[in-house]
Structure 1
Amino acid sequence: MSKVKYYYDSETLSYRKIERKKGRRLGIFLLSLLGSLLSGFLLLLVYLNLPNVETPKERELRRELAQMELQFELLNKKMTQAEAVLEQVADRDNNIYRVYFEANPIPEEQRKAGFGGVNRYKDLEGFDNSKLIINASRRLDILTKQIVIQSKSLDEITILATEKQKLLEAIPAIQPVNNEDLTRMASGFGYRTDPFTKERKFHWGMDFTAPRGTPVYASGNGVVSRADNSAAGYGNHVRIDHGFGYESLYAHLFKYNVRVGQRVKRGDLIGFVGSTGRSEAPHLHYEIFKDGDRINPINFYYGNLTPEEFAQILEKSQLENQSLD
């Protein structure tokens, strides 16, 4: 129920009841209706334009998002550079390192294999930049895997290089008597005339004629496996086990100055030329074994002979003359 309002009439000195006019009521109603419509329209405009209205927080988040996209772009460029460098390393690994050390190359499909099976990036889906993030994550994972594969390959190459170095140091690769100490290269590997029976028989080593007491040197790194005079015909002799299937023998020594089990290096003094055992004159009888078989020592003097010196000793070693043992 609406309240009754009065006003004071100064002429009659009494309160009179305020009578509301019907036209005024209609005007107030229409004015209220217009205000409501105007307010609704303004609210509608605000609502429709709300997505375009950016708050300070939203502005800050937009800048962070732009910065993140820039960082991802830089990350992709760096990954592209890393992929190019890794590809060059892999190419050298397959075509130089592994070829040199006689190792099988790593197949390309193994180096660049992806990740199959379960979706590894499911947690990254459903965002505005999911495609960008998933692509970068996938490239990074593949790059990491390739680096691991290459790292293991280089570890293998390091081991092979160490073994190769040991092999190169172990191979009996020098002449056991210096050229300036030689009287002559008396006899080579092959059929020769026996000095005692005068029969033609196979000579399993090379004879180096030198004065008694001439130094004899180890032709490669190894361990002395024998140093005695108990082998028939060899007299005082030394055997060196070089590993990798190689063994060298030095016979008819005047004396030796190494013991069994002693480690020696290429060029170490191991004894002196003599004529002990089945020998006709002072000389060194030298043999090389590979996997238990005697092989021609002429192929193992590349460590201390010039091409001219090697050509001369090769020519002399091929002469079918009389051996000294």
Structure 2
Amino acid sequence: MSKVKFYYDPESLSYRKIERKKRKTFAYISLFLLAAFLFSFIIIFIGNLYFESPKEKALKRELENAKLQFELLNKKMDEAEAVLANVADRDNNIYRIYFEANPIPEEQRRAGFGGINRYKNLEGFDNSELIIETNKRLDILQKQIVVQSKSLDEITVLAEEKEKLLAAIPAIQPVSNEDLTRMASGYGMRSDPFTKVRKMHWGMDFTAPRGTPVYATGDGIVKRADAGSSGYGKHIRIDHGFGYMSLYAHLYKYNVKRNQKVKRGDLIGFVGSTGRSQAPHLHYEIWKDGTRINPINFYYGSLTAEEFSKLLEHASLENQSLD
């Protein structure tokens, strides 16, 4: 029960009861509530400034973790870009040069993405710049990987073709050194054994006994195995592809037939002296794109450096040919 308060009235010389007006009471109460509300607001505001709620702490930790993950992702992209740059350098300066392919321009490898703003949905956030730059780097890196992947696919095809080319090019001596009596005559101007007139000798003459094995010098298909060409007698022509053809003349007999596939080192015939020949020997020619070229440059697959040096010395002598 609230206390009753009195005041002294000097006019009536008596104590009168203090009567509190309702309006005044309502004003006091309103003022008290307003002060309490303002005090609470100030406390909450200051608390929000200096104190974090559990939810805010959790969100802040998630944000810091996200930033850390983006930083780690950028470091990994630094490493990936370095590795990819090394692969691209070897691709342009080793692989593509070896396989005679044009290098991929740097601007094509590092081209960005023009046109519309593909990162607009990432704008407007506290860390938008970090997020956008990371996504740009990732997109460019992915594009570079695609470009490099396609280049390596192309190199794979070229390597397969190169392997076929290396197997097809005439690369061994058609008569083994064990069976060879001597290298009688080389490519170039030589004295004709019948007319004694100097004329062009388009191949190399390997002296060997009749019946000595003759081997295919590269992979290919036998296009001719007959005696229908003037001067060559029984001879074989092998089409190696890539513009190369080899010819083996003055044979004693054949070990292959027309349209037969042969591999380098296969026995195709035997040394003889058919056609325009002075003695048993093999006349050997190489053609490239329809033009006869010096066979001396095509023995890297069967001779040592010393053997090749001796062969080169004998081939350079301007002596008399055997056909």
TM-score surpassing 0.5?
yes
Task: Work out the CA distance in 1 between the residues paired with 2:153 and 2:26.
Answer: 92
User: Could you tell me which residue of structure 1 aligns to residue 293 of structure 2?
Assistant: 295
Amino acid at match of 1:42: F
C-alpha distance in 2 between matches for 1:205 and 1:152: 44
Alignment counterpart, residue 34 of structure 2, candidates 37, 44, 55 = 37
Aligned to 2:169: 171
| Aligned equivalents of 2:158, 2:222: Cα separation in 1 | 25
Give the Å deviation of 1:29. 4.7
Aligned to 2:245: 247
Residue 123 of structure 1 deviates from its aligned partner by 1.0
Structure 2 counterpart of 1:183, one-letter code: T
Aligned equivalents of 1:88 and 1:42: distance in 2?
66
> Quick one: distance in 2 between partners of 1:135 and 1:247?
58
Instruction: Give the 3-state SS of the residue equivalent to 1:67 in structure 2.
Output: helix
Query: Displacement, 1:23?
Result: 4.4
Counterpart of 2:254 (choices 246, 253, 256) is 256
- Give the structure 1 partner of residue 199 of structure 2: 201
- 1:47: how far off? 5.3
- Residue 129 (structure 1) aligns with: 127
Deviations 1:85-122 (A, max 9, x none): 11111111112212222222212121111112211101
TM-score scaled by length of structure 2: 0.89
Q: Deviations over 1:117-164 (max 9, x none)?
A: 211101111122211111110000010111111111111211222222
Give, as a single letter, the amino acid of the residue that structure 2 aligns with 1:129: N
For 1:20 and 1:77, how far apart are their aligned partners in 2?
A: 84
- Counting only pairs closer than 5 Å after superposition, residues 1-325 of structure 1 correspond to structure 2 as 21-23=18-20, 28-29=25-26, 31-46=28-43, 48-49=45-46, 51-52=48-49, 54-325=52-323
Distance 2:239 2:166 in 1: 14
The Cα of 1:208 is off from its aligned counterpart by 0.6
- Shift of residue 257, structure 1, vs aligned partner: 0.9
CA–CA distance in 1 between the matches of 2:26 and 2:237? 126
For 2:24 and 2:322, the matched residues in 1 are separated by 145
Q: Deviations over 1:198-231 (max 9, x none)?
A: 2222111111110011000011111111111211
SS for the counterpart of 2:157 is helix
The amino acid of 1:167's aligned partner reads: L
User: Once the two structures are aligned, what percentage of the paired residues are identical?
Assistant: 70
- Structure-2 separation of matches of 1:314 and 1:37: 114
Q: Give the structure-1-normalised TM-score.
A: 0.88
How far, CA to CA, are the matches of 1:71 and 1:316 in structure 2? Answer: 73
Output the amino acid matched with 1:146.
Answer: Q
Give, in whole Å, the separation in 1 of the partners of 2:60 and 2:17.
Answer: 58
> In the alignment, residue 233 of structure 1 is paired with which amino acid?
G
Local SS of the residue matching 1:308: helix
Q: SS at 1:294's partner residue?
A: strand
Structure 2 counterpart of 1:261, one-letter code? N
Distance 2:232 2:153 in 1: 45
Cα pair distance change 1:50/1:194, threshold 3 Å:
same
Q: Distance in 1 between matches of 2:160 and 2:274?
A: 40
Give 1:247 deviation, angstroms. Answer: 0.4
1:288 CA displacement: 0.5
Report the 3-state secondary structure (helix = DSSP H, G, I; strand = E; otherwise coil) of the residue aligned with 1:180.
Answer: coil
Q: 2: distance between equivalents of 1:299 and 1:34?
A: 112
- Residue 8 of structure 2 corresponds to none
